[in-house]
Amino acid sequence: MALPPGEEDIDYNGFRLEVRRFGSGWRILIYSLDGIYGLEKNPNTRQYGERNKVVAEAKALVDQHRASPER
């Protein structure tokens, strides 16, 4: 099934970033590729033009999670 314009699923460092519309902006849901768990933080914005900004925030959260000794 095709996603609406601007929405997509991005595979990044062992995680799936689901870029979805959120009101007038965007939300990124972050899940492990094995589907067992998602990260607690979900970056979002209420500004339509900030899509790339929240994708970058989501990637940074994944990088921080992977670098964390607690994982």
Residue 37 has pLDDT above 60, yes or no: yes
Whether the Cβ atoms of residue 2 and residue 11 lie closer than 8 Å to each other:
no
**pTM for the complete prediction?**
0.88
Tell me what percent of the chain is helix, strand and coil, each rounded to the nearest 5.
30, 35, 40
How far is Cα 27 from Cα 4, in angstroms, rounded to an integer?
14
Whether the Cβ atoms of residue 54 and residue 44 lie closer than 8 Å to each other:
yes
Q: What is the mean pLDDT of residues 1-15?
A: 89
> What's the order of all strands across the beta sheet hosting 25-32?
8-12, 15-22, 25-32, 44-45
Check residue 71 and give its pLDDT: 57
